[in-house]
A and B are shown apart, each in its own frame.
Chain A
Amino acid sequence: MTFSTSTTMATDSVPPSASNSSDYYFEPDDPAFLETLQNTVLPGDLPVDATKALQQAQPLKRSYRESEDDRGDVYGAAHFGDFGEYMRRKRAKLQLQNAGIAGDETLEQAPQIFKGISIYINGYTTPSVQDLRQLIIRHGGVFQPYLDRKELVTHIITCSLTPAKVQEFKNMKVVRPEWLVESAKQGVLLPWRNFIFRHNERSEPSQGVRPLQKSLLATFSSSSQQQQQQQPNASSSTQKRKPPRPVIPIVKPKPAPDPLSNPLYTTDPKSSKEAQHVPYYAAHESNPNAQRAMENPAWRSAHTSIAADFIEGYYKNSRLHHLSTWKAELKSLLQEAQERAENGVVDILDSDVDGNGDGEATAGVDKVSAESEDLSDAGASGVSMRGAEFVLRSPTKGKDKGKGKAGPPGEDRVIMHCDFDCFFVSAGLVKRPQYKGKPIVVCHSQGAQGGTSSTSEVASASYEARGFGIKNGMSLQQARKLCPDIITIPYEFELYKQFSLKFYTILMKHADELQAVSVDEALIDVTSTVKRLRSKATPDTLASPGFDPAKELAEAIRAQVRRATGCEVSIGVAHNILLSRLATRRAKPAGSYHLVPDEVDEFLAPLDIKDLHGFGRSAKQKALEKLGVTMLGELKEKSKGVLCDALGKSMGETLYNAVRGVDEKKLESDKKRKSVSCDINYGIRFENNEQVETFIHQMANEVTRRMEEIKVLGRSITLKIMKRDPTAPVEPPKFLGHGACDVFNKQMGLFGPHGRATSDSKVIGDHAWRMLKAYNFNPKELRGIGIQIQKLEPASGAPTEPGQGRLSFQKVERTKPSEDAVKARREAISKALEEARAAEAQTPIVKEPLRSRSTSVQPPAFGLPSFSQVDKSVFNALPDDIRSELEIEYKRRSASPFPVPERASTTPATDAKPKPKPSPLTRNNALFPFPKKIFIKGTNRPNVKRITQQLAPQRAPAYSPNKKNLFMKRPGLAAWKVPETELRKLNIDPEVFAMLPKNIQREQITAARLLKTMGTIPEKSEHRVVLKPRKVDHGEVFRQPPPKARHVLPPSLKQQSSGGQKLYFTETDDIQNIIEQWVTRFKNHPPNGKDIDFFAKWLVKSVDREVATDEGLVRAIAVMKWWLMMVKRYFGQHEYGRLHDDEPSREEKVGEAWWAAFRNVKEQMDAVAKKRFGGKLSLR
């Protein structure tokens, strides 16, 4: 190839280590290109010596130009059909043109910072290609107009790439134009990595321009590089964005139109029921932009959940995600502050606001602002709040918590609810004072982009905007309808974070206890501060009617926050949480309000149920439907029972208390985290299950990351699936939103290895995927996926290792040979080797050389030749310690793991080989302690079985190794054998038979056997029977088979008849006959025991309903009656025993025996009958 010469030159002149930085871009796509890339040092990589860079870059350029120049006919006429010539010339001309620019004397000579860089510009860029080209050339770079040979290009400059190009350029250095611009401006070549083009930083005409706000993860991922950066401003300058076109609004608040009586503002209603309440949120039932976009597979793969970096991007831009993360972070900061307070390491800040004047408060504020500046410096790099810390003012908190009770109960408590006034807007306005007093909303979509159909959600609206009826949660399109001149400002998460931290820092100073409600909202308990203020107050101020220390404190806090952030905070003060929240409503905007207990009733009465925290639209609906009223004053008249009936027990009780201004809730300052989750319901559009699985695993990674952040493990996993409601359009009104959905939840235990709690992403992903698979949803229908991990437990404090226990081997002190010993040994070895070589040279027979190097240098367990191969002479020449070591090792090997018959192991195969002598060292040498110390008591054989059992994999069923047949091969066709005798019987010659292949053998033997048993081989039937599924006639109703009656066979009396046949008697008459014959035959003899048992068995069986049903009982009674009659007939006089004490006569004995037999059987029957009916049987 043509370029090989120039690159090899470069390779020689450059140290190989210099190319390390580009390693990570390699993929085995184009070996030649990769080689070039690897061997080329680029100025953008590392600050390499400029001359070196020049040297190695020069050939690239020169060789190229020379080859063209040599032809000398660049400007000549092109030949017909020679397109290659045309292109070559065009390229050459362009290079000449470039040279012209570079050589232009009119332009000032710029520093040649781009020397050695060859740049291709892709697509539309800002600044334009022409400008960039000039810039490059003036600074000594090479501008490549075509990318037909990638190896010529070192960097690609672009502002946007198609997904296909993303793929194409994945191994190249793709950089944003800012790199060139900034470098040129600073006169230094900046590291290109800080300007890597990230694919998803794109503009989407249908969604408006994404604000270039640097987001959470991006700053994290690039922070490491930023540290190396000399000028930190360089990258941040890219964040500058043009302020949205100022539009002068007509500030003429129209009456807010109320499209529905009970409107709900959200951009993506989850159920169609909810959707009914959303007033013309979007212009279309189904988003036409989304439909159009989804038709483009490339777009799809880049911007929906299929995209590889989707989750990252999703969280970068999700406002809700930031808010929830911050809340969690704030909470953990609070918790840390409390822990520190409890541990007594608090340096109590000077927090005296309890003067009368503003002066001290100001001092406090100064302090706060100074601190918060520190904070903002420290935490400036990211949007996360990590790294900041709060200091809790009062360490008494810990003690209170120990008692489970915080602050005095009842009306003595002072709770403040502090809430920023439209936080996002006012934070945004700090930097844009020109918009103050105008209708402003904060949302993703900016300027006039997205037109009238933008579905971007309004996150916060200024009071002026609210005057138009704009509410949070509306879409931008709706807001525009209400106020066409609305001004949109972007999110500034970093600013919010800083403000929030300042806000909390101030609150911390005054609060006994603090509950973080959200970024811009907190509840604080200031009871003790207020008490102190009150105690310090002079008697006459106390007496004055307007004196209210709580309100003063609130105003002080407001002033501090205003000073620190420039934003207004409203504070509601009351004696419980519920009322303080309500008081804030009155306080807004920019005020404070103290709701004193006496005014509560009056205050509450005109409020609506919806105004209460925790009661929403559905509660109002219910109250309206079932109670007919929604005003708190009216609700107060309802009894608790009525409220409970209407709203459910707990809601009813809460409401009953709430309308009376009672709220028992405590501030939750240290609520433990119960779950970690990751929910994504935006942009979920899959095509097949593989994509879903990949995505789930990516989500699992995210969950794992979060779990690791707070250091927990989980035991339970819940999967939440949103599936498109069958009636909803495929593309919902919100762009890539979820639309109306059916929601499914599934929970299961989460088991890491050994059934432990886990945070492993693989395990979580597998569990989630398994659950999702169980639903068997069409992947195209999925609209939202959430993974939540519950039953958290701390990851630290190494849990006791469950599962396999450890054998307590005796610890071996491995004796380290001293330095001298090692040296001595080395010498000995080399000496031995020399001797061995000499010996080898002498011996005529070529013996297999001992691989002495491996034996002596490597640990003996590896690469040791088998003992029979060891050259005796060499072996003997080894120093004693090494020899004994080898001996032991050989011994050990022969002993395990495959026990060889003893003789074989001890007797070498050839006499020439030495017999390893049992050296005294074997016993005591501690290097191989294996067979020691694993003896069962009493025996001195190692308990190998137990050990192997323990070593067996735990989960697998423990097959004991002696169950050989489990692993034995099942006899297959190959093992199939017919005994010779049978073959002879079948008239088959065994020898010939043995020669046949197995399948023919089978055929033959089967035929022969059939011939023998049936006489003929059955003919194959002429017509083939085609098996067909039974046709189901759908007109005919399929009937189940009718139920079958169950008849119990009566127990039978078996008797051997004279003819050798067995007779079975079940009928009453027959059995009566048999009994009669029996008694008659034995009337002069006592009954035979066997006979009694014979009848007794039948009779007892018959009485048992389970065996013989009640008919059996009837039969048994009849038979017994007959037997009784017979006994009475023959032995009637003996029924009641003897009347005399003499020796009983034979007749008497016989009679008594019969009666005894009869009574015995009767008793047995009674016992059975008693179970069923109680009492006994009567034979009357």
Chain B
Amino acid sequence: MSNNPLTFNQTVRGIAEFIEVAIHTILYVRQIYPAEIFVRRKKYDTPVFQSRHPALNEYISGAVKAITDELILGNVDKVVVVIKDKGDVALERFIFSVETMIQVENFNKDTSQISVENAMTPLSLGQYFRSFLVKLCMVEAQLGQMYLGEDVSFAIVIELKDDKPPTGSNPKEPPPWVPAEGQHTTSGAGDDAELHVIRAVNTGIINLSLVVQESEEKLHREREK
């Protein structure tokens, strides 16, 4: 199975799953929550930390679910995990940049049999994700330690292509998304924000990259210290 190239839905699920794992890892690495609530697990053949807090887990998995819906539609441009202080000022933005490379018919998306020709295999995608996570764990080297104590919080933001509204969810329910705060978005990033590239992968179906942006405010505050 792993030798067959990815299918569209596999890719979407894989990416969504990775985003979920990565969110947990980010929360751990950036010390948003105390280390005690995290448990060490193995994912993608690498040790990762997962939150044990049910409310937090539910929030994350709900968000990822909504992200998945949008990913299937191919509307997503970026998924951003915003680390913010208690004044809701974005300090760091972990940006999962997504680029849908091909248009696949719905019936082809659904049948798992139809692999996308020339695409990456699931096995190597897993390896890429491991490399993402390894690099993510070492991001502290670039960003420095967070010393903000319990004031820190986070938010999950998606940015869609061409100002499209999120549509992917169940049409009967209200969309799970609310408009994001300007400063949390890419257009709100100041000129002096700095971008660190963590890793990128081209699956040929949906290309994914993870970058971290330190906001102007954070850099400004650190300089003042």
Contacts and interface: CB of A to CB of B under 8 A. Distances in A.
Given A1043-B8, A1048-B202, A1109-B202, A1176 B191 contact: yes
Contact of A1109 (B99, B118, B194): B99
Contacts of A1172: 97, 186
A539 interface: no
B195 A1045 contact: no
B187 interface: yes
B102 A1175 contact: no
B65 interface: no
B214 interface: yes
Contact of A1043 (B108, B194, B197, B199): B108
Contacts of B204: 1045-1047
Interface stretch (B37-45, B52-60, B167-175, B205-213): B205-213
Given A1111-B201, A1174-B190, A1174-B213, A1046 B196 contact: no
A394 to B, nearest CB: 62
Tell me which of A1043, A1046, A1169, A1180 has the highest count of chain B C-beta atoms within 10 A of its own C-beta: A1043
B180 interface: no
B108 A1114 contact: no
A1180 B119 contact: no
A1172 B114 CA distance: 33
B108 A1040 contact: yes
Given A1043-B114, A1110-B99, A1176 B200 contact: no
Nearest to B142: A1180
A562 to B, nearest CB: 68
Nearest to A1112: B200
A1045 B116 contact: yes
Nearest to A1044: B117
Given A1043-B103, A1045-B5, A1111-B207, 13 more contacts: A1040-B108, A1043-B117, A1105-B97, A1110-B209, A1173-B186, A1173-B213, A1175-B189, A1175-B194, A1176-B193, A1176-B195, A1177-B195, A1178-B142, A1180-B142
B192 interface: yes
A1170 interface: yes
A1111 B209 contact: yes
A1117 B120 CA distance: 24
Contacts of A1040: 105, 108
Interface in B152-180: none
Interface of B: 5, 8, 95, 97, 99, 101-105, 108, 114-120, 142, 186-197, 199-205, 207-209, 211, 213-214, 216
Nearest to B141: A1180
Contact of B115 (A1042, A1047, A1048, A1111): A1042
Given A1046-B204, A1111-B200, A1176 B192 contact: yes
B162 to A, nearest CB: 14
Contacts of B108: 1040, 1042-1043
| A-B interface, 6 closest residue pairs, ranked by CB to CB distance from nearest | A1175-B193, A1045-B204, A1174-B189, A1110-B209, A1178-B194, A1045-B119
Interface in A429-446: none
B142 A1175 contact: no
Interface string A1155-1175: 000000000000001101111
Contacts of B205: 1045
A446 B155 CA distance: 88
A1175 B216 contact: yes
Most chain B CB within 10 A, of A1045, A1105, A1180, is at A1045
A507 interface: no
B201 A1175 contact: no
Contacts of A1042: 108, 114-117
A1169 B8 CA distance: 28
Nearest to B107: A1040
A50 to B, nearest CB: 94
A1105 B202 CA distance: 12
A1178 B200 contact: no
Contacts of A1111: 200-202, 207, 209
Contact of B209 (A1045, A1114, A1170, A1180): A1114
Contacts of B196: 1178, 1180
Interface in A661-699: none
A1178 B8 CA distance: 33
A1105 B213 CA distance: 17
Given A1174-B193, A1175-B213, A1109 B186 contact: no
Looking at A1042, A1114, A1169, A1176, the one whose CB has the most chain B CB atoms below 10 A away is A1042
A644 B117 CA distance: 56
Given A1040-B105, A1042-B114, A1043-B104, A1174 B186 contact: yes
Contacts of A1044: 102, 116-118
A1045 B108 CA distance: 13
28 contacts: A1040-B108, A1042-B117, A1043-B8, A1043-B104, A1044-B117, A1044-B118, A1045-B5, A1045-B118, A1047-B101, A1105-B97, A1105-B99, A1109-B202, A1110-B99, A1110-B200, A1110-B202, A1111-B201, A1113-B200, A1114-B197, A1114-B209, A1172-B186, A1173-B95, A1173-B186, A1173-B195, A1174-B190, A1174-B191, A1175-B190, A1175-B193, A1180-B142
Contacts of A1048: 101, 202
